[in-house]
Amino acid sequence: MGEYDFLRNWTDWLKMSDLSQLDLTGSVQTLRQSFFRASRSIEPDLPDLAEISNLLIDGADGPLKARLYVPRGAGIAPAPAIVFFHGGGFVLGDLDSHDVVCRRLADGSKCRVLSVDYRLAPEHKFPTAHADALAAWRWTTDRGSMLGFDLERLAVAGDSAGGNLAAFICQEANRASLLMPAFQLLLYPLVQFSDLRSKKLSFQEGGFFISSTLFDYFRDSYIESRTDRMDPRVSPLFADISTFQGLPPAHLVLCGWDPLKHEGQAYADKLAAHGVPVSLREHPGMVHGFMNLTGISSPARDAISAAGRVVGEALGARRATPP
């Protein structure tokens, strides 16, 4: 099945034309159920890992659920590891919605992966998710050695809103003098949460998975004050120039049919302009969120594995792929 063939299967999202008119509580539950159904799959070629464990780690205001993935061939501890934050507009997603993504990322990278289940909006407003992500990073850098992590080879990763949190962790490490991640993997990241509606979108960009209406819905569910939309924590693209200096190497995965693609490209350019080593892979026929479609798209499965290999090679978990 090619990149373009799977789009017809993504019908749950195409039917959500005006979420802002729905009852907030009801719409959140409907969205979460639809997202979970669409992202869960039974895959005969799912990698067989050495270990998968459920944990409790420290959040900003109490314990958070987390899940540790240890792939076969991960090496003797302490070994390279990845802290992963799931996407979903800060409203959707959990450990289970991104379980397959994390399994494939662990297998592709040959790195241990710690997936973090941060609190969601609208129940928990900005900056709760960012505070939880920061607390999870602090917990990992304090206790990660108990999980077999080499703290000098510890990366952050995430898709969409999770990519936002991964980028935030790197910038916050500069602002707060924290341990800097060794690498950042940003999968079609949300790097500005200010506006999408004013952009001129093609049919493909505006009709699949994330529309202007859905963008506004996610943003307004998480951010109460209009002035906070430009806060560098939630819009890292607009962070102070000094914040970009000394950031870790980055790999960005972008999608051709994604209204956030251009902001992702701009973020990569901004990193490169400040001397940060950056690589970028664009999947022309893919839409935002495509890595949750592994059950119906072999290119999505391949894309996760390829992104994992980039991280694994950067952290020294696997040999570089021959040119």
Residue numbers annotated as active site: 160, 258, 288
Vertex 298 angle, CA 309 and 301, to 5° = 30
**Cβ contacts of residue 42 below 8 Å, gap of 6+?**
295
Using only C-alpha atoms, the chain has a radius of gyration, in whole angstroms, of 18
H or E element, residue 58: strand 51-58
Q: Phi first, then psi: what are they for 9, rounded to 5°? A: -85, -5
**Cβ contacts of residue 258 below 8 Å, gap of 6+?**
188, 205, 210, 264, 286, 287, 288
Look up residue 23 and give its two tokens.
Answer: 């009852």
318 within 8 A of 74, measured Cβ to Cβ: no
**Cβ contacts of residue 152 below 8 Å, gap of 6+?**
182
Kindly list the distances between the CA atom of residue 123 and the CA atoms of 24, 129, 216, in Å, as whole numbers in the listed order.
11, 11, 17
Residue 131: is it exposed, middle or buried by C-beta count within 10 angstroms (0-12/13-18/19+)?
Answer: middle
154 within 8 A of 141, measured Cβ to Cβ: yes
β-strands 183-187, 149-159: how paired? Answer: parallel
Kindly list the distances between the CA atom of residue 238 and the CA atoms of 42, 54, 147, in Å, as whole numbers in the listed order.
40, 36, 35
Look up residue 111 and give its two tokens.
Answer: 């790195």
283 within 8 A of 204, measured Cβ to Cβ: no
208 within 8 A of 7, measured Cβ to Cβ: yes
